Structure 1
Amino acid sequence: MRDTVPRTDLIVCPHCDAAWSLARPEPGERAVCQRCHTVLITPRRKAGMQIIALATAVLFLIIAAAIFPFLTISAGGTTNSVSILEAALAFSDGPLILLALATAALIVFIPLTRVLLSLYVLVPLVLDRPPAPHAARAFRLSEALRPWSMAEVFVIGCAVALIKISELADVTFGPAFWMFAALVVLVVLQESFLCRWSVWNALSEPQKS
């Protein structure tokens, strides 16, 4: 009968599936796959608190950006302000309702879900407490949703659209626009601080004992 105990002395590259002997780097160093150069481990001192602070800021920015005016457009003596959710759900009454709901999910609800899952998983670990119930499943779901969190794609699309609209009307950025721009930057910082191997290792330690 084969031994089914997980190998803790190996690490597998998530990009090219190469297996390497695990050598834990010191804080500030990083372990890189020698085949495809994917970063495997990036431990940082006090990274947990930094990630929680960034995630909390992202949470408030997402909620505020979804409520406050995103753009104000003036043309022909008519002025109209629109929020992100109103823009995403503009066609929700017609045959494009599925597209409208998908757009709202990709730019608001999925990023919101990911940040809530991150806080649910990381807060107990950073406070040196046992992982929350089903924390591994929650972190796995957060990682599965990562490709579908498209806030930065929305910002790029808005930038392209605004260049064309500005020739036809006066466009004024609302507070939600700047909140969303800051949100994208904070999400990038949060992703750069997060060492996924460290999270999985912390979640598996109670099971080993």
Structure 2
Amino acid sequence: MSSMQNIQADLEQLIACPACDALYRAALPENGERAVCPRCHTVLIAPVDGAVIRVVAFAVAILILLVSAMFMPFLSIEAGGLSHSTSIADAALSFSEYHMLGLSIGVVALIIFVPIARAILVIFALFPLMLDKKPWRGARTAFRLSEELRPWSMAEIFVLGVGVALVKVAAMAHVELGMAFWLFVALVLVTVFQDGFLCRWSIWSALEQGDRQNG
């Protein structure tokens, strides 16, 4: 039995590079330092003091920005004496006018509901850790789901696409950016900062230790 426990302990000390799959024995660096894959230079471990609090705070900020953006004007266009303003929902649902309701639903999900779901899952998984308490049951599942949804959270792609489109439209019409557009720009910046503080190895270690205590 002790040999099995030793094998399990050894396996828990291993870490695989998410980019090149190289396997290493994990060694926790000092706060502010980073453990980097020698093969592809991907950051493997990067603990930072107070990182959990900041990640949760950024997740709350993402929620506020997204919910606020849904109820504010996104942009307005004026040309030839005619003007039209639109919101995020109007822009996404415009595809339904061309019998593409499925595409409209997909766009709304990817730029609004998936980012909101990720933020809620991160808050659920990390809020007890922020208070130095044991994680809630299901925290590991919530964090894993938030990571699986990450490639499908496309608010940043949406803002980039809108920016490219506006460069072309600006030559033909007067475009006025609404508050929702700037909220999305802020959302991109907040997401970048959140990813910068998110040390996944440290979070997984804390959640697994909490599961043992709960078990």
TM tier relative to shorter chain: over 0.9
Partner of 1:161: 165
Determine the C-alpha separation between the residues in 2 that align with 1:86 and 1:207.
44
Offset, 1:109 = 0.9
Partner of 1:20: 24
Partner of 2:205: 201
Give TM-score, length-normalised by structure 1: 0.94
Partner of 1:5: 8
Q: Of 51, 55, 60, which residue of structure 1 is paired with 2:59?
A: 55
Offset, 1:11 = 1.2
Offset, 1:93 = 4.6
Between Structure 1 and Structure 2, how many residues are aligned?
A: 209
Give TM-score, length-normalised by structure 2: 0.92
Structure 1 residue 41 and structure 2 residue 41: aligned? no
Offset, 1:113 = 0.7
Partner of 2:180: 176
Offset, 1:94 = 4.1
Alignment root-mean-square deviation, CA: 1.7
Q: Of 89, 93, 100, which residue of structure 2 is paired with 1:89?
A: 93
Q: Summarize the alignment of residues 8-157 of structure 1 with structure 2, pairs less than 5 Å apart.
A: 8-157=12-161
Determine the C-alpha separation between the residues in 1 that align with 2:107 and 2:91.
9
Q: Secondary structure at the match of 1:123?
A: helix
Offset, 1:97 = 1.0
Partner of 1:187: 191
Offset, 1:92 = 2.3
Which consecutive residues of structure 2, in runs of 5 or more, have no partner in the other structure?
Answer: none
Contact 2:79 2:172 in 1 (8 A): yes
Q: When you count helix as a share of all residues, which structure comes out higher? A: 2
User: CA offsets, 1:156-203, max 9 Å, x none?
Assistant: 111111111112211101011111101110011101110001110010
The residue type paired with residue 57 of structure 1 is A
The residue type paired with residue 53 of structure 1 is A
The residue type paired with residue 41 of structure 2 is H
Offset, 1:207 = 3.4
Q: Secondary structure at the match of 2:143?
A: helix
Q: Secondary structure at the match of 2:96?
A: coil
Runs of 4+ in structure 1 displaced over 4 angstroms?
none
Which consecutive residues of structure 1, in runs of 5 or more, have no partner in the other structure?
Answer: none
